[in-house]
Amino acid sequence: MRKSNHFKGLVIATALLFAGFGVRAQQLETSVFLNGILPVAQFNNEVNLEPLGTFEPMTSENIAMGAAGGLGGSARIGMWFDVGVGQLQPFFEAGFLWNNSRSYIRNKYDNNERNNVLQQRPKAPQYFNLPLMLGLKYRYDITPDVRPFVELGLGYDLLFISKNGYPTQTFRYKPSGEFSWMIGAGTYLGEYVSVSLFYMGLGNHRIDYSSRSYQPEAIDYSTVYRRSLGELGLRVGFHF
C-alpha cells in the first residue's frame, strides 16, 4: 500500500504541475538521455569477500555494495515556459540504471573452486534501478549555442537485484521501492543536444534477502538489510 500511494502521488503531482504551467506554455519538449554512472554512498563500499572455497563470495551482509560503474538511459517529457529571465520547464522522467559487481568480485566467482566441481559458472549479482522523477529545469540562454541549465527532481526508485550463487545455493532479493531525488547542471549545445552532470539519491533501500540451499539438505532463510544507494553521472541528452 505504501509503494502504491507513493506512485499514485507522483502521477497526480505530474498532472497538476503540467496543468498549472500549461496556460503559459511555450514549447513541448521530449528528450532521450544516455548516462554513464558511478555508484556512491553504501553502493560504493568495498566488499570483504569470504575465503576462496566457501559457499558464497557475496553474503547477505555485503549485498548492494561493491558496485561497478554502469550505464543508463531515460526518457523525459517537459513543457518550457518563459519566466522573463530565462525559461522554466516542469518535466516527468522515467529512467533505467544498470550496475554490475566490480571486477574483483566477479573474478572471485569465476575463480572459486566450486566452479571446477560443478562445471557451471557461478553468477555475481547485478543491480537495476528504475527511477521515476518529477522535476523542474531552469535554463538561461547566453547565446543560441550556449544555454546553461540547472535542474532538480523528486520521485520514486525501484531496485531490482539479480539472483546469484551456485546450483547448490541460490540467493534472491525482492524488489524494493524508495523515495529518490536528483540534482543536475549542464548546458545545451545548440537546440537539440545537451551535456550535464547529475547526482541521484536513490534512497535507503530495504534489501529483503532469501537463500535456499540444496546440499546437504534443503534450508531456507531470509534476512533484511538497509542500503543507501546513489549515482553520480554524466549524461548526453537529445531533445526534440
Please, which pLDDT band fits residue 172 given cuts at 50, 70 and 90? confident
Give the integer Cα–Cα distance in Å for 93 and 32. 9
Q: What is the CA radius of gyration of the chain?
A: 21
CA angle 236, 239, 240 (to 5 degrees): 160
DSSP string, 77-111: EEEEEE-SSSEEEEEEEEEEEEEPBPHHHHHHHHH
- Do 163 and 171 touch, CB atoms closer than 8 A? yes
| CATH number of the domain where residue 198 is located | 2.40.160.20
Please, which pLDDT band fits residue 58 given cuts at 50, 70 and 90? confident
The tens digit of pLDDT for each residue in 209-237 reads 777 666 555 555 567 789 999 999 999 99
Please tell me the total count of domains within the chain: 1
pLDDT score, position 5:
62
Domain coverage including residue 117:
2-239
With residue 143 as reference, give the H or E element that holds it.
Answer: none
- Locus of grid cell 496556460: 23
Contacts of 80 (CB under 8 A, 6+ apart): 25, 26, 27, 28, 29, 87, 88, 89, 139
User: Does the structure show a pLDDT above 50 at 23?
Assistant: no
User: Does the structure show a pLDDT above 50 at 52?
Assistant: no
- Do 147 and 139 touch, CB atoms closer than 8 A? yes
User: Does the structure show a pLDDT above 60 at 109?
Assistant: yes
- Grid coordinates of 171: 540467493
169 three-class SS: strand
pLDDT score, position 3:
57
- Do 21 and 79 touch, CB atoms closer than 8 A? yes
* Percentage of residues of the chain with pLDDT beyond 90: 58
Please, which pLDDT band fits residue 25 given cuts at 50, 70 and 90? low
